[in-house]
Structures are given as C-alpha cells and as structure tokens.
Structure 1
C-alpha cells in the first residue's frame, strides 16, 4: 500500500511533465532546424536511473528538482551516445555511418597541430591526465523529460544472492572472510522504474559556428545529424539509457508515430502563423481607418453569425440602438450606400403588400434614421 501511494501519478504531474516538454519544444524552435536534432522514442523495456543516488532505502532514483518528476540527465545521454559512436567507429557492427576513431582532423592551436577525430569534434576531446590540449565538443545534450505511460511508476525487485560474499562479511565465529555458498540469506530490494511504452524526446543542439571552425566537413549538409541519428539507433538497440542496461533496462525504439505528430504540430504552427499574420494585417488596416469606420469594422467582426451579410448585421445594429446621434446618421448613410450598391434600395414597393417587402421596409427605416428619427 505504501508503494502504491509513492508511485501514483496525479493528473497535475502528467500535465507538468507535458508542459516541461512543450517548453523544450518552444526553445528548440528558436534554435532552428539546422542546429538541432529532435528525436522521439518509446521505451521497450522498463527504465530506471539514479539508483546510486543517496536514499533512505537501498536504491535512489533521479527526480528533477524542483518539480519532483523523473528525468534522464543530458550528461547520461551524452555518455551513451559517445559509446555508441565508438562502437560504430570500431567497424564491428557493419556500417560505420561516418564515424571513425582515427585522428584524421587537425586543428591549429598556436604553433602546434592538435589531431582529433569526429567523435572528439562532436563530443569533446577527453585529454589524458596532465595534458594541456583540450577541445570542446560541438554538441549539447538536453535533459529528457519522460512522458510516463499509465498513472503511476512501477516497482521492480532485484534479489542479489551471496551478499555475504560480495560484502566480505567475516565469519562471526572464526573471523575469516567467507566464501560464496547457497546457504546465504538473499534480501529482495525494491526500486522504482518507468513502465515500457513511456515516451522520451531527445534534443541535441549543435554549435554550428564552433563546428564550422574545427570540422567544417561535419557541418556540411547536416552530416553531423545523420551520424548522430545512426548513433541513437545503435544505442536504442544495443546499449540502452539509464541504469541496469546490462540486464535489458533502458532499451528503446524510435516512436513510429512521431512523424505524424510532428507534421500535425507543424501544420498547427503554420495555421497559427497564418492567423497571426491575418490579425496583423487587420490591425494595420484598422489603423488607417477613421474612428467611425474602425468602430463599424470591429462591430461587424464581432458578430456571432459570421455568415450574416454585412448589410444585414449593420441594419440589425441600428435597430438595436448600437449607435446614436451623429454616429447613427453616419452609419445609416453607410447602410444606404451598401443598399444602393446591392440594388436593394426601394423607396417604392413593387409588391402588392408593402409590409412583406423587406427591402422596402429597410429603406424606410434607413431614411428615417438619416433624418435623425
């Protein structure tokens, strides 16, 4: 019962996680498509991270401060991707996808040449202890905010055997270090995980100015992005993210529905841009109008029935007393001009029953309003 209370996700938790991800998307849009790689994935196995964090229980868990939500630190993503790049560069997995361990790139630093590889250019040069030559990587890995499937975290259990041997607890009688045997007392240890099917959106930002300076060939035609996508695919299948990856945790696959969602987001963004542009054009047009013309236009734009003709809406507003005094006369004059243009001005009725001649009745009303009646 205690675990159920601890692992339960309130509605506000899921809303907050979605809001944080949406904020990341808005920040990513400012970076531009050329300098950002965004990749959406689904967990195909349980995911856990931060087990080594200090915690009252045996294992900790990584929660993002101050939100209290599970997250995958960007540093962890960088480490996994660097290892994936190294494995691809080794050539033991088939296609290298452009990765290479050879120091085939050279950067002039003062009077010396600094050789480095594509991995060093993108992830940074890991210098040996005491070395004075360093190189900042062009890539920045953002923290990942998982979108958790279901309404709670899950609890997994690991039961290490022969703990007496691994912890080297001496025999109580003899004081000698014990040896592994099957008569030990295994203790089940519970730890938190995220369920399979949870969504992970990875954002990787590239400093193109820096990359163009040190390795322009990697910046050409988005080559760095294609190489990184291959590293992600390798990491999803063979490495995993988070903790306990050696026993299958943290495995992922690219979300097959991500393309459709991205297309829908782009369409919504384009529609919002069109609406904003149309509103800006409307405001610019209103700014050029006289105060009365602006008031008439705003009145017509605010009508509930958007299909109602302008003339009908204007006459309806006059009937309801929307305008008074000189403004009422001016609006009536505007209505008369619209009726003349539409050939609806009828000073004499052509029907046997004038009361049923709508155009004639409207003409009489407009004429009375023009006279100030």
Structure 2
C-alpha cells in the first residue's frame, strides 16, 4: 500500500521525476503483526526506479560540473591554488545508511537532481582525519602536539600518560591552517583555508542492490539486562537487510581550492608575547600556499582513498577509491560507469504472483525481474496465476539496467 495521495504518486512515477523525491516517498508498506513495515522488495523496486529516473539527470549533472569548473577557473585567475582529482571506485560506495528513510537504509542524494553525491562537509572531515594520520607517520612532527590517552565508552578522548592511544592536539598548526579551529569560541579562532566542493559522479552512476545479514539482532537490540545476558548465540535467525550502493568503477570528481586568510588577520595577532617556536607556528598558519602544501593535500587524498574510505561501512572495505588523474583542466565526459539500459527477451521464463506483496516475479537462468503492474499479464494466464497461484511459463521482455531487471511486456 502507498501512503501518499494518488496525484502525487502519478507525478513521482513520471519519466522525468526527481529520484530524491521518489526515493523518500515511494516505499510500499504492509501490515506485519499489527505493525506497518516496508515490503521486502522495496529497495529492489527503488533501485530499478532510480536507474530509470537518473538516466534523465545527465544534463543537470553536466551543469553542476560546468558550474564547479567555472568556480575553479575564477579562483585560479585570482592566483589561488586549485585542485581537481578524478577518482574511481574500487569497491561499492554507500552513504547515508543511518539517515531517515522508511526502509531504515537511507541514501544521500542531491535534492535538486536526485544524483548521489559526497557532501563537502564529509570530504572535509575525512581529509582532516587523513591529514592527522599522515602527521602521526611524519617523523618531523613536534612531540608537543601528540597526546597520549584513552577513549572512554562515550567515544571521548581522555588524556592519560599511560594510555595506549594517541591524539593530535587540535591546535597543531597545519590542522588549523587547512581546516580551521574546532573551538569556535576561542578568541584566536581561525577558519580553514581549504575550501571543499561537493563531489559528484563524473557521469550518472548505476545503482546496485547489496545486502547485510546481521545474525545477533536479539543481542544487539536487547532492551532488558536479561536479554543482554543471554549473549549472541548461533540459534538466532539472521535478518537480511537490503540497501542501495553505487557500483564500483564509477568516477567521482573532487574539487578544492585554497582561500588564504586576509592579511589583516595576521596583522591583528600580537606577536611580541610569543616564543620563537610559537612564531614559527604562526608562520605555518598564515604563510603563502607552497609546493609543500600541495603535496600535503594530495597525500591527504591518497590516504583517504586507500586507507580510510568515504561514506558508510568503510570498516569492511566500502568506499575505497583509486586516483585516476589529477589536474586543473580535466575534461568532463571521460569514461565512467554509466547507466545503460537494454531490452532483453526471456523465452520460457517462470512467472509467479505474490499476493501478500502484490508483486509479479519472473525468473530466467538465475535472473529475476519484478513489477507491480497486474495489467501486464495477458488474460489467458489470469486463472492459473491469480486464482490457482501457479507458476506459468511465459515469454517476457525485460529492461536491464546493470544487474537490475524490470518487466516491460509479457506474452
């Protein structure tokens, strides 16, 4: 069942609908033991619809790239350092799993175009962590910025000389130079001088369904001490959870520029009370952007691409990139993973009807296509399929988008 008005449903199902709006509203629901839950095949249906709708977003995506390119060209003409990096996914990418969605497996989509993207704030956070990792591996880092301690149960770092974990102080000069101060109430608070733009796929990507299979849901979801004491046991039933990913091979374009602090900011800092070592730190924060800075930025990306990953589920290998090309004049439109659709005919396929979900399913040589349109079924099959609920042999025309299939015609 649908929970939105019929007129909205018709608009969202139109060929030029926005997938961001479709994704958040077009989940099918069902009653399960007096509870309303999303139907099992909702994510698969959303993936099929997404690949269909995203194919119409090519012009909008190209416009975003032109706008970002123009911004970099203006910055470069103004004497600022700019960097554009094309990076290809080595593993599937998923982001926003924890964001609000009826299926409880969300996805971050551009609101205006419906295209999946990586927000600039996320890029900044990952690169800040990558730079901290690089600093710890740098033998020239002043030891005064390294703190020993432990992480408590809340995830907060507490200083402890005997701790087995390390932290880099947020006041470390290069962290302040590139990313700004975390303490925004400090009197000498500074903004970061690296400006990050949202990262978009080079071309419209293909969506692919994936699955996670938590086994110990009763243990992790325990609401009482007694349930927690039971512990994780192998007799618990796994609960398959489907979610959408962006296929490996997709190329994303990362763009950043260096926006120096105004000269007045340096002049307002009273230097007479500083020690010589502190003055060197100030020079690091306010100095001109150099080749050493350019190398540091590229090293951040390399660490983030190979070691940390972007998006969700990075601990198990998702969101890893490999750098394809660097430069300021990268031409939009190079090869990438595209949404390509083809029509196939399946002879003698097995057609079945699931009344509890209202779905038609066709299986052929290990492949499966689905639809919720009963009008696709010729009248000669109605009795066997809908009344007797038997599997019937049919000839089917399907639309293939990646590894997703949609029923177009049944003969």
TM-score exceeds 0.5: yes
Q: Of Structure 1 and Structure 2, which has the larger fraction of its residues in strand?
A: 2
Where in structure 2 are the equivalents of 1:198-209 lying within 5 Å?
198-209=250-261
Structure 2 SS opposite 1:64: coil
Matched, 1:221 2:301: no
Matched, 1:24 2:68: yes
Alignment-derived partner of residue 92 in structure 2? 46
CA distance in 1, matches of 2:100, 2:237: 24
Structure 2 SS opposite 1:41: strand
Where in structure 2 are the equivalents of 1:315-354 lying within 5 Å?
none
- Tell me the alpha carbon deviations over residues 186-209 of structure 1, each in whole angstroms, 9 at most, x when there is no partner: 111111111111111111121124
- In structure 2, relative to structure 1, the CA distance for the partners of 1:234 and 1:218 (3 Å cut) is farther
- Tell me the alpha carbon deviations over residues 85-132 of structure 1, each in whole angstroms, 9 at most, x when there is no partner: 1011002xxx57x8777569xxxxxxxxx964111111112239x755
CA distance in 2, matches of 1:80, 1:160: 27
CA distance in 1, matches of 2:236, 2:223: 11
CA distance in 2, matches of 1:100, 1:37: 28
Matched, 1:70 2:116: yes
Unaligned runs of 5+ in 1: 105-113, 266-373
Q: Is the 8 A contact 1:155 1:190 kept in 2?
A: yes
- In structure 2, relative to structure 1, the CA distance for the partners of 1:182 and 1:115 (3 Å cut) is closer
Give the alignment's TM-score, normalised by structure 1.
Answer: 0.58
- In structure 2, relative to structure 1, the CA distance for the partners of 1:262 and 1:246 (3 Å cut) is same
Deviation at 1:50, TM superposition (A): 1.1
CA distance in 2, matches of 1:36, 1:200: 17
Structure 2 SS opposite 1:69: coil
Alignment-derived partner of residue 167 in structure 1? 221
- Tell me the alpha carbon deviations over residues 347-372 of structure 1, each in whole angstroms, 9 at most, x when there is no partner: xxxxxxxxxxxxxxxxxxxxxxxxxx
Deviation at 1:178, TM superposition (A): 3.3
- In structure 2, relative to structure 1, the CA distance for the partners of 1:140 and 1:118 (3 Å cut) is same
Q: Which residue of the other structure, out of 38, 48, 69, is the alignment partner of 1:5?
A: 48
Q: Is the 8 A contact 1:14 1:147 kept in 2?
A: no
Give the alignment's TM-score, normalised by structure 2.
Answer: 0.53
Structure 2 SS opposite 1:200: strand
- Tell me the alpha carbon deviations over residues 39-98 of structure 1, each in whole angstroms, 9 at most, x when there is no partner: 11111111111111100002111011122111100010011101111011002xxx57x8
CA distance in 1, matches of 2:101, 2:187: 38
Q: Which residue of the other structure, out of 120, 125, 128, is the alignment partner of 1:82?
A: 128
Alignment-derived partner of residue 59 in structure 1? 105
CA distance in 2, matches of 1:264, 1:131: 43
Deviation at 1:242, TM superposition (A): 1.1
- In structure 2, relative to structure 1, the CA distance for the partners of 1:223 and 1:175 (3 Å cut) is closer
CA distance in 1, matches of 2:128, 2:143: 12
CA distance in 1, matches of 2:252, 2:98: 22
Q: Which residue of the other structure, out of 312, 325, 335, is the alignment partner of 1:243?
A: 312
Deviation at 1:30, TM superposition (A): 0.8
Q: Is the 8 A contact 2:61 2:204 kept in 1?
A: no
Q: Is the 8 A contact 1:84 1:231 kept in 2?
A: yes
Number of residue-to-residue matches in the alignment: 246
In our comparison, the structure showing a higher alpha carbon Rg is 1
- Tell me the alpha carbon deviations over residues 295-339 of structure 1, each in whole angstroms, 9 at most, x when there is no partner: xxxxxxxxxxxxxxxxxxxxxxxxxxxxxxxxxxxxxxxxxxxxx
Q: Which residue of the other structure, out of 324, 331, 350, is the alignment partner of 1:255?
A: 324
CA distance in 2, matches of 1:237, 1:176: 37
Q: Is the 8 A contact 1:121 1:215 kept in 2?
A: no
Q: Is the 8 A contact 2:99 2:106 kept in 1?
A: yes
Structure 1 SS opposite 2:201: coil
Deviation at 1:22, TM superposition (A): 2.1
Alignment-derived partner of residue 305 in structure 1? none
User: What value does the CA root-mean-square deviation take over the aligned residues?
Assistant: 3.2
